């Protein structure tokens, strides 16, 4: 047979195969994870672009992630995601409280699924040794092949790299949401404005305690409601206002942990002063977030320091108990030196990894990354974060306004909301619409906070000892911090705890971070 005859035969066979595929709806191969064909933005697909998507076999992907609600969500949102991304998804939800145990057990038995979400940044740190050991796929070299994944912020990706290589996608979060939520009606009654500095903050907390701000003639209010959390409770935010570094800071040309700085001690002194004055819940080290919130929403506390975006839920419950309560948000509190500062996260609160035990080859990995590329389109990101338009949210002024039935949204959408890759700037997701003045103010302050945000210089760095012992050693400092603020140890006792931290591995952590910092 000559070359011309052979070419004609091949063309006929290919044409016949394509015809059979079109007639049968197409079965595709085991690794046929082709992306849906593009369409004109906002318009219907043409016949030519629709056919490949309709004929492609859905990619089958199993996803493991933590569940921050009481019940596993129904398939309402999952079904919509599958339609939008041409996938068949299996979600393995496990309660957030026990997620790390499940994660570790699955890793130990080699049973992690294709897509594995971690729990938080701490879990990511603990997983770094397994990453170095080659247990997960490096994905950095592939991102440029996917137009939407390529939009992820380089500075945040750098914060998730391990030894300079990228293995994960990130779930983006605003850099600095921390501030205070306070009873403005109490402040107005007592002639107080939003505190401009830490001195005025103490004065507000004290007067909210001693000057009967609720006007009932009883000694039944406290200025500050706090909880057993040195990071997301009041302590770390107040520490930033005092000028404390964010986890680590530079002194004499070397990185040192935050608790070795005098500003950390000044923060402990401030909280101790508030507690000694009984201007806060004195058992705060044993107070849960639920009890802290209840203290504020019952009308018994005037200041809540934490994420300002908590204001919606706080006001919703507060007005049930105090109908005429007025709340505002604030974050521009200067330290003793007159400087404004706030602490920032590394731009993400969680990451997703791709285990080699589940994802067998490069072709399968690219098929999964193609799904995440589709997730970073406005249509899919909005579905996962906000839910179904007209059911879980409506659009007002070009923004997503949450529906009235928040319980429905919590049940059906929340489980998926926590897994959206990127942020509105990179995935095109709708911004939230707010009509509560305090929340509108909070969103403005979040943007202002970014201008004064202090990053953690060790976020992109690695320390083997910190990975191995950091969480354990931090308990020494956590325990000593609470004891100091409770008055059961003095400065000498706290310094002794710091020395203990150093002897048990802290000195090595300092050396390793500084070696990485100088590279």
Distance CA 268, CA 487 (A): 10
pLDDT of residue 5: 38
Q: Is the pLDDT of residue 9 over 50?
A: no
Structure tokens at 12: 């006929």
Given this model, what pLDDT does residue 55 score? 55
- Which helix (DSSP H) or strand (DSSP E) does residue 31 occupy? none
Q: Which among 157, 167, 66 is positioned nearest to 426, based on CA atoms?
A: 157
pLDDT per residue over 95-153, tens digit each?
998 999 999 999 999 999 999 999 998 899 889 989 999 999 999 999 999 999 999 99
| pLDDT at residue 1 tops 60 | no
Give the residue carrying structure tokens 């402040």: 187
434-492 confidence digits (pLDDT tens): 999 999 999 999 999 999 999 999 998 989 899 889 989 999 999 999 999 999 999 99
Please provide the DSSP assignment of 103-129 as one string: HHHHHHTT---SEEE-SSHHHHHHHHH
Helices (H), 386-463: 406-412, 414-417, 424-427, 437-452
303, HSE (Cβ side, Cα atoms, 13 Å): 28
User: pLDDT band at 290, cuts 50/70/90?
Assistant: very high
Query: Residue 194 gets which letter from DSSP?
Result: S
Report how far residue 128's alpha carbon sits from residue 136's, in angstroms, rounded to the nearest whole number.
Answer: 10
Q: What pLDDT shows up at residue 439?
A: 97
Comparing C-alpha atoms, which of 175, 170, 177, 173 is closest to residue 376? 170
Task: Tell me the pLDDT tens digit for each residue of 208-266.
Answer: 999 999 999 999 999 999 999 999 999 999 999 999 999 999 999 999 999 999 999 99
- Degrees, nearest 5: CA angle 30-34-39: 155
Which residue shows structure tokens 């529906």? 403
Q: Which pLDDT belongs to residue 30? A: 34
pLDDT band at 48 (very low <50, low <70, confident <90, very high): very low
- Whole-number pLDDT of residue 462: 87
| pLDDT at residue 270 tops 70 | yes
Q: Percentage of the chain with pLDDT > 90? A: 84
Question: Alpha-carbon distance 477 to 473, whole Å?
Answer: 7
pLDDT of residue 3: 36
pLDDT at 13 over 70: no
User: What's residue 43's pLDDT?
Assistant: 36
- Local structure of residue 25 (DSSP, 8 states): T
What average pLDDT does range 347-368 have in this prediction?
96
Q: How far apart are CA 381 and CA 383, in angstroms?
A: 5
Is residue 180 predicted with pLDDT exceeding 70? yes
Q: Are 438 and 329 in contact (CB under 8 A)?
A: yes
Q: Is the pLDDT of residue 333 over 90?
A: yes
Mean pLDDT score across all residues of the chain: 90
Cα 352 versus chain centre, distance = 12
pLDDT digits (tens, 9 = 90+) for 62-76: 999 999 888 999 999
Q: 136 — alpha (psi -120 to 50), left (phi > 0) or beta? A: beta
Query: Which tens digit of pLDDT belongs to each residue from 82-109?
Result: 999 999 999 999 999 899 999 999 999 9
pLDDT over 80 (residue 281): yes
Position 317 confidence tier, pLDDT thresholds 50, 70, 90: very high
Q: How large is the average pLDDT for residues 328-333?
A: 98
Task: Give the rounded percent of residues in the chain with a pLDDT score beyond 70.
Answer: 89
User: The tokens 């697909």 sit on which residue?
Assistant: 45
Question: Which structure tokens are listed for 284?
Answer: 């705060």
- pTM for this model (two decimals): 0.80
For 367-399, what is each residue's pLDDT tens digit? 999 999 999 999 999 999 999 999 999 999 999
Run of H or E residues at 99? helix 99-108
Strands 59-67 and 115-117: parallel
Question: pLDDT at position 62, please?
Answer: 98
Q: Compute the chain's Rg from CA coordinates.
A: 27
């Amino acid at each position: 047979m000559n070359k011309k005859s052979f070419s004609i035969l091949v063309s006929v066979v290919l044409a016949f195969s394509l015809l059979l595929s079109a007639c049968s709806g197409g079965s595709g191969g085991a690794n046929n994870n082709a992306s849906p064909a593009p369409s004109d933005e906002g318009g219907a697909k043409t016949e030519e672009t629709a056919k490949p998507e309709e004929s492609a076999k859905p990619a089958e992907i199993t996803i493991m992630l933590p569940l921050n609600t009481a019940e596993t969500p129904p398939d309402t949102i999952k079904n919509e995601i599958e339609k939008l991304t041409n996938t068949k998804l299996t979600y393995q939800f496990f309660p957030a409280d026990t997620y790390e145990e499940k994660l570790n057990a699955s890793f130990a038995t080699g049973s992690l699924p294709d897509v594995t979400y971690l729990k938080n940044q701490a879990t990511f740190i603990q997983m770094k040794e397994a990453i170095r050991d080659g247990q997960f796929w490096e994905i950095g070299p592939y991102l440029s092949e996917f137009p939407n994944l390529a939009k992820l912020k380089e500075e945040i990706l750098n914060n998730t790299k391990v030894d300079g290589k990228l293995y994960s996608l990130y779930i983006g979060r605003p850099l600095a949401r921390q501030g205070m939520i306070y009873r403005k009606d109490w402040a107005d009654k007592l002639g107080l404005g939003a505190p401009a500095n830490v001195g005025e903050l103490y004065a507000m907390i004290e007067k909210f305690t001693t000057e009967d701000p609720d006007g009932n003639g009883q000694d039944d209010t406290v200025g500050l409601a706090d909880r057993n959390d040195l990071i997301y409770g009041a302590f770390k935010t107040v520490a930033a206002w005092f000028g404390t570094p964010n986890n680590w800071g530079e002194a004499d040309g070397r990185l040192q942990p935050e608790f070795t700085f005098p500003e950390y001690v000044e923060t402990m002194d401030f909280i101790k002063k508030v507690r000694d004055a009984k201007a806060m819940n004195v058992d705060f080290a044993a107070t849960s977030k639920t009890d802290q919130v209840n203290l504020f929403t019952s009308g018994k506390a005037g200041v809540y320091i934490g994420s300002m975006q908590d204001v919606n839920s706080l006001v919703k419950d507060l007005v049930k108990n105090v109908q005429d309560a007025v709340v505002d948000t604030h974050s521009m509190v200067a330290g003793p030196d007159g400087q404004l500062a706030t602490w920032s996260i590394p731009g993400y609160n969680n990451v997703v990894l791709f285990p080699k035990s589940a994802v067998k080859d490069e072709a399968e990995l690219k098929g999964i990354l193609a799904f995440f590329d589709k997730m970073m389109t406005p249509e899919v990101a909005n579905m996962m974060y906000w839910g179904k338009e007209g059911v879980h949210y409506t659009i007002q002024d070009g923004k997503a306004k949450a529906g009235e039935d928040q319980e429905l949204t919590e049940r059906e959408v929340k489980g998926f909301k926590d897994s959206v890759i990127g942020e509105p700037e990179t995935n095109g997701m709708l911004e939230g619409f707010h009509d509560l003045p305090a929340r509108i103010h909070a969103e403005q302050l979040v943007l202002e906070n970014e201008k004064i945000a202090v990053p953690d210089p060790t976020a992109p760095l690695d320390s083997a000892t910190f990975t191995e012992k950091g969480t354990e050693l931090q308990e020494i400092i956590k325990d000593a911090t609470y004891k100091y603020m409770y008055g059961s140890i003095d400065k000498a006792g706290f310094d002794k705890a710091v020395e203990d931290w150093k002897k048990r591995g802290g000195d090595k952590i300092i050396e390793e971070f500084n070696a990485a910092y100088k590279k």
